[in-house]
Amino acid sequence: MLDAMRLVSKIRSKTVSALLAVLAIAFFSVGYLLACQVPVFRYALERWPADHYELRVSAEMMNSTAVSILKESEKSNLRFIESTGDAKQAELFHARQTDPASIPVWKGVLTDETAGALLQSPVRQTLVEKVLSGESVIWVLIPGKNAEANEGIREVLDTTLARAEQVIQIPEGVVTEGDDLATSNFSGDPEDIVSADIPLKIAFSVLELQHDDPAETILLNTLLSIEDDLHDLVDQPMVFPVFGRGRFLEPMIGKGISESNILDYSAYLCGACSCEVKEGNPGMDLLITADWSGADEATVTTLTKAAEPVPETVEIKGTKEESDTMRSLALGVVIALLLIGGLYFFIRKE
C-alpha cells in the first residue's frame, strides 16, 4: 500500500512538473508570437499614420482663400472644425486635446501667409527629407540662453550619437525588401517585414531650432505643448527625438541631456517594437505635410511557406490575419492551461 501511495505521489509530482513546463512553454510561445522585430522608428514610419490636428475656424472663415489653400493640401494631417468663436481668429489643436480648457498650439488671424506657415516650415521639411532618406531619429535641439552650455550640449549629442551608430544594431529577424522572399521560404511573422523602399539603417542627426525664428513658430509651440510646463523652462536647452511620420517624445532638458539618457532613447527607438499599438507608445505627432506613400506598408506578393515545394503568392494582409488568429489561439491556450492548472491544484488540495 505504501509503495502504491509513493508511486501515486511520484506520478503527481511529475504531472505538476510537466504542467508547469507546458505553461512556461506556452507563455514563451505567446511572447514570441506577440514580438515584432522591426525597430520602433521604422514600425512607426510604415504603420502609424500621423494623428490629426484640428483647425477651428468660424463659418465665415470657412469660405476664405486661406482655408481653400489648406484644404488643397491632401498630404497634411490637418482637418477643420467649425467654431462659434471669434470670426477673425483661428485656433489649432492636437486631436488628443479634448479638454475644453486646452491651450491651442497656435491662435491667430488666418491669412494666406499664416496658412502656408501652418502646413510647412524649413525645419519640418528637412525632418521629412531625413526620415525618407532612412535616418532613424532626428534630434531637434532648442538651445538655451547660455551659449557655452549650448556648445557643451551639442558636443555631447554629436559624440554620443556617433557612438550609438556604432554600437546599436538592427534587431535580428527583420526581413527587408532586399531579401529574396521568393526563394527564402519565408514562414515567419509578417510583422517582421520592412516593406517600404527606404534604407533600413541606424543613423542619427541633429537639427537646431531657434526660439526667435518666425518661420518655426508652429513647430516650436507644438514641441513645447507635449508637457504643460515646458514654456517655463525655455531658458534651458531641450532635445526632442523625432522619428516616424513626425512623432516626437518628451524632451531631455538641461542636465538631463546626458550620454546615458541619449543612449537610452536611442536604444528604445532602434529596438524591437514591443507594443505595436500606437496609443500604447509614448509621444505626440507634429503637424506636417509630407508624401508618405513611399513609406506605407506595401503588399508583398512573394512570400512563400516553407512546407510547400512550389512557391505560392500570398498577400501580406491575409498572412497578417492568419498571424493574428494564431496569436489569439495561443492566448486562449494559455488561459485554458491556467484554468486546468488551477483546477488541478484545487482538487489536489481537497
Asked whether the beta carbons of 221 and 284 are under 8 A apart, the reply is: no
Give the amino acid at 162.
A
Within-domain flag for 25: no
Give the amino acid at 61.
M
Whether 262 and 184 share a structural domain: yes
Asked whether the beta carbons of 335 and 342 are under 8 A apart, the reply is: no
Within-domain flag for 78: yes
Whether 96 and 208 share a structural domain: no
Could you give the CA distance from residue 276 to residue 321 in angstroms, rounded to a whole number? 15
Helix ranges, the chain (H): 2-34, 40-47, 65-72, 112-119, 122-132, 147-167, 217-224, 259-270, 316-349
Within-domain flag for 213: yes
As given in the structure block, the three cell numbers for residue 323 are: 498571424
Domain that holds residue 207: 40-49+121-295
Whether 214 and 82 share a structural domain: no
Asked whether the beta carbons of 308 and 97 are under 8 A apart, the reply is: no
Whether 92 and 216 share a structural domain: no
Furthest C-alpha separation in the chain = 96
Last residue of a domain, one of 280, 295, 310: 295
Whether 144 and 245 share a structural domain: yes
**Which CATH number belongs to the domain containing residue 275 in this structure?**
3.40.30.10
For residue 152, what are the CA distances in angstroms to 147, 148, 156, 233, 254? Answer: 9, 6, 6, 18, 11
Tens digit of each residue's pLDDT, the chain (350 residues): 334 333 333 333 333 333 333 333 333 333 344 458 899 999 999 999 999 999 999 988 888 899 998 988 888 999 999 888 777 789 999 887 877 778 899 999 999 889 989 989 999 999 999 999 999 999 999 999 999 999 999 999 999 999 999 999 999 888 876 555 544 455 567 777 887 889 999 999 999 999 999 999 999 999 999 998 899 999 999 999 999 999 999 999 999 999 999 999 999 999 988 776 788 888 999 999 998 887 765 433 333 222 233 333 333 334 444 444 444 454 454 455 555 555 444 444 44
Beta strand pairing call for 175-176 and 193-194: parallel
Whether 95 and 57 share a structural domain: yes
**Residue (of 154, 196, 209, 162) closest to 41 by Cα position:** 196
Whether 187 and 80 share a structural domain: no
As given in the structure block, the three cell numbers for residue 46 are: 510604415
Predicted pLDDT at 182: 46
Whether 213 and 281 share a structural domain: yes
Q: Is 73 helix (H, G, I), strand (E, B) or coil?
A: coil
Whether 110 and 211 share a structural domain: no
Could you give the CA distance from residue 288 to residue 276 in angstroms, rounded to a whole number? 22
What phi, psi does 92 have (nearest 5°)? -110, 125
Predicted pLDDT at 303: 33
Within-domain flag for 32: no
Predicted pLDDT at 299: 35
Whether 189 and 61 share a structural domain: no
The cell 542619427 sits on which residue? 204
Within-domain flag for 85: yes
Could you give the CA distance from residue 57 to residue 60 in angstroms, rounded to a whole number? 8
Within-domain flag for 303: no
The cell 522572399 sits on which residue? 181
Last residue of a domain, one of 271, 295, 319: 295
Total of domains in the chain = 2
Question: Left if phi > 0, otherwise alpha if psi is -120 to 50, otherwise beta: which for 21?
Answer: alpha
Whether 150 and 248 share a structural domain: yes
Asked whether the beta carbons of 152 and 221 are under 8 A apart, the reply is: no
Asked whether the beta carbons of 275 and 281 are under 8 A apart, the reply is: yes
Length of the chain in terms of residues written: 350
Whether 136 and 224 share a structural domain: yes
Within-domain flag for 241: yes
**Residue (of 294, 250, 289, 297) closest to 269 by Cα position:** 250
3-state percent breakdown (helix, strand, coil) of the chain, nearest 5: 45, 15, 40
